[in-house]
Amino acid sequence: MRSTFVIFTILVIFAMIGVGLIFLERYINSNAEVTQKIGRLELLNEPYWVSKELQDKIVTAAASRQEYLILNEGTAKAIAEKLATVAWLDEAKVKVTNEAVQVSARYRRPIALIKADGKRYYIDNEFVLLDYVSIDKLAIVEIKGVRHERITGSMLGAIWQREDIAAAVTLLELLNKMDTEVASEKPLLYEISSIDVSNYNGRKSTRKPHIVLYAKDDTEIRWGAEKGKWHLHLEAKDEEKLALLYNTYEAMGTLQLRSNHKGSFIDLMKPQKSLSLPIDRY
Residue 27 has pLDDT above 50, yes or no: no
Residues 127 and 253 both lie in one domain: yes
According to the model, what pLDDT value does residue 28 have?
38
Residue 12 has pLDDT above 90, yes or no: no
Domain boundary among 75, 90, 107: 107
Contact by Cβ (8 Å): 122, 110: yes
Domain boundary among 92, 107, 122: 107
Per the prediction, the chain carries an average pLDDT of: 86
Answer yes or no: is 255 within a domain: yes
CA pair distance 66, 41, nearest whole angstrom: 9
pLDDT digit string, tens, across residues 109-159: 999 999 988 899 999 999 999 999 999 999 999 999 998 778 888 899 999
DSSP H or E segment with residue 236? none
Residues 145 and 99 both lie in one domain: no
Sign of CA dihedral 234, 238, 244, 249: positive
Domain CATH code at residue 91: 3.10.20
Closest CA to 223 of 187, 253, 255: 255
Residues 55 and 145 both lie in one domain: no
Answer yes or no: is 9 within a domain: no
- pTM to 2 decimal places: 0.80
CA pair distance 255, 186, nearest whole angstrom: 12
- What lies within 8 Å, CB to CB, of 136 at 6+ separation is 51
Q: What's the gap between Cα 268 and its chain centre? A: 31
User: Once rounded to an integer, what is the mean pLDDT over residues 210-232?
Assistant: 96
Residues 266 and 179 both lie in one domain: yes
Residue range of the domain that includes 255 = 110-281
User: Once rounded to an integer, what is the mean pLDDT over residues 50-55?
Assistant: 96
DSSP H or E segment with residue 113? strand 110-116
SS3 100: strand
Contact by Cβ (8 Å): 276, 282: no
